Amino acid sequence: QQQVKQSPQSLIVQKGGISIINCAYENTAFDYFPWYQQFPGKGPALLIAIRPDVSEKKEGRFTISFNKSAKQFSLHIMDSQPGDSATYFCAASGANQAGTALIFGKGTTLSVSS
């Protein structure tokens, strides 16, 4: 049973465009929703995270939008750059969810063309 569903599986965006990746979760006990960025041969790096008490969080070109009633959240990358080309994972966690282990989506491979 996949508790965090991520789409699309892959995404191609032109330089300067907006990249949007969506995730949906099932477990209402989740209360922490991070996004990770992973480059080939590297470990996942924490990009930005949100808690369900806010609907949006912005850090530089990266924004998380959160819809608690729909149990969905998304990552927006503004002014996408070739250096943003990587795999992005959404995740969810909660105090009652196997400690605070992260449940990951399947990942989205983003390619930003120059």
Partner 1 sequence: DSGVTQTPKHLITATGQRVTLRCSPRSGDLSVYWYQQSLDQGLQFLIQYYNGEERAKGNILERFSAQQFPDLHSELNLSSLELGDSALYFCASSVEGLVSYEQYFGPGTRLTVT
Closer residue to partner 1, CB minimum distance, 15 or 58: 58
24, 85, 108, 112 from 18: Cα distances, Å: 20, 13, 15, 10
Cis link prior to 8 (omega < 30° from 0)?
yes
Binding residues for partner 1, how many (CB under 8 A)?
21
Q: Which residues face 35 on adjacent strands?
A: 48, 90
The stretch near partner 1 (CB under 8 A) out of 16-24, 55-63, 69-77, 94-102 is 94-102
Among 73, 86, 107, 110, binds partner 1 (CB under 8 A): 107
19 to 58, contacts with partner 1 by CB under 8 A?
A: 32, 34, 36, 42-46, 49
CB 44 within 8 A of CB 35: no
Please tell me the distance from the alpha carbon of residue 43 to that of residue 28, in angstroms, as a whole number: 28
Instruction: Give the x/- contact pattern for partner 1 in 53-92, rule: CB under 8 A.
Output: ------------------------------------x---
- Torsion sign over Cα 43, 46, 47, 51: positive
Residues forming the site for partner 1 (CB under 8 A) = 32, 34, 36, 42-46, 49, 89, 93, 98-107
